[in-house]
Amino acid sequence: MTAAGAGDRRIPVTLLTGFLGAGKTTLLNHLLRQPQAAGSAVLVNELGTVGVDPHLLDPRLLEKVDETLVVLDSGCICCSVQGDLVRALKGLFMRALRREIPAPRRVLVETTGLADPAPVIHTLMAEPFIAGRYRCDGVIAAVDATHALQQLGAHREAVRQVAMADRLLITKCDLADEAGREALKRRLAGLNPAAAQIEVRMGEAGADAFFGCGLYDPAGKVPDVAAWLGEEAVQARQTAHAAPQWRRPGMGARHAAADAAPEAAARRHDEGVASFVLRFDAPLPWFEFSDALGLLLQLHGNRILRIKGLLDVAGDPLPRVVQCVQHTVYPPASLPAWPDQPPFGDHRSRLVFIVRDLPREAVEAMFAPFVGRAAS
List residues binding ligand GTP (CB under 6 A): 18, 20-26, 53, 113, 142, 171-172, 174-175, 200-203, 306, 308, 323, 330
Q: How far is the CB of 52 from ligand GTP (least distance, A)?
A: 8
Decide whether 260 or 354 has the Cβ nearer to ligand GTP: 354
What is the spatial distance between Cα 376 and Cα 369, in angstroms, rounded to a whole number? 18
Antiparallel, parallel or unpaired: β 349-356 and 304-311 = antiparallel
Give me the residue whose beta carbon is nearest to ligand GTP: 330
Q: How far is the CB of 281 from ligand GTP (least distance, A)?
A: 24
Q: How far is the CB of 131 from ligand GTP (least distance, A)?
A: 27
What is the spatial distance between Cα 86 and Cα 119, in angstroms, rounded to a whole number? 11
Reported in sequence order, the residue ranges of the chain that DSSP labels E, i.e. its strands, are 11-18, 40-45, 69-72, 106-110, 134-144, 167-171, 196-199, 273-280, 304-311, 320-325, 328-329, 333-334, 349-356
Length of the chain: 376
Decide whether 172 or 348 has the Cβ nearer to ligand GTP: 172
Tell me the β-bridge partners of 196.
167
What is the spatial distance between Cα 3 and Cα 297, in angstroms, rounded to a whole number? 46
Decide whether 119 or 203 has the Cβ nearer to ligand GTP: 203
Q: How far is the CB of 308 from ligand GTP (least distance, A)?
A: 5
What is the spatial distance between Cα 152 and Cα 124, in angstroms, rounded to a whole number? 26
Contact indicator for 142, 171 with CB cutoff of 8 Å: yes
Q: How far is the CB of 303 from ligand GTP (least distance, A)?
A: 16
Decide whether 51 or 218 has the Cβ nearer to ligand GTP: 51
Decide whether 12 or 113 has the Cβ nearer to ligand GTP: 113
Nearest to 137 by CA among 195, 192, 216: 216
Decide whether 22 or 125 has the Cβ nearer to ligand GTP: 22
Contact indicator for 239, 262 with CB cutoff of 8 Å: no
Q: How far is the CB of 76 from ligand GTP (least distance, A)?
A: 11
Instruction: Mention every residue, 6+ apart, whose C-beta is less than 8 A from residue 149.
Output: 180, 183, 184, 187
Antiparallel, parallel or unpaired: β 11-18 and 134-144 = parallel
Q: How far is the CB of 265 from ligand GTP (least distance, A)?
A: 20
Decide whether 25 or 326 has the Cβ nearer to ligand GTP: 25
Decide whether 76 or 229 has the Cβ nearer to ligand GTP: 76
Cα 231–chain centre separation: 22
What is the spatial distance between Cα 178 and Cα 231, in angstroms, rounded to a whole number? 38
Q: How far is the CB of 202 from ligand GTP (least distance, A)?
A: 5
